[in-house]
Structure 1
C-alpha cells in the first residue's frame, strides 16, 4: 500500500485525531520514543517487518490503522513509498485478510 494514503483523509490513526498528533504523542513518551528510535534504525536496512493492520468499518467504509501506529509514523517520516499490510472488516478482527485491499475505499 502506498504510504501517501496514511493521511488524515484516507487511512486514519485509530487512537489519535491526526497523524501529527500521533507523532507528537509518541515523541513525548519515553517508551514510545524508544520504539520510534529502534524503528528509525532498523527500517532503512530491513524494511517494515510486521505489516500494519488496517480496519475497515463496515457501516461506512472508514479506514484506520488498528495496529502499527509506531511503524506508520516512521514510514511517513522516512517517506517510504509503500508499507505492508493486513486488513479486516471491523468489528470482525478474527477475520484478518491477506487478500488485496478494497482500494476503492481510498479513492
Structure 2
C-alpha cells in the first residue's frame, strides 16, 4: 500500500526522470529482517541457508526518502505491519506464485 501510494504520488507530482526512493526512513539490518520474517512464517533459524559473504556485502539497507516526502508522501504502516501484510498476501494467493516456483 505504502509503496504503491509513493509510486502514484511520484507519477502525478514528481519530476520526470527524477529518482524517488520509497522506504521506511530507517535502517534495518539484514539479519533483523530475516528474523522478523522467520517469526512471521513460524520458522526457526535452521531454515536459513548461510553462504559466504560477497565482496562489499551489504549488512543493512537504508534509502534516502527526502525527495518523496517533499512531495507529501508518508508511510502508513510500520515495517512489522507491512511485512505481516506481505506474508499474509503470499499465504492467501498461493495460486499466483506456486506455479512459478514449480517451473524451476
Q: TM-score, normalised by structure 1?
A: 0.27
Q: TM-score, normalised by structure 2?
A: 0.27
Relative contact order (C-alpha < 8 Å, sep 6+): which is higher?
A: 2
Greater fraction helix:
2
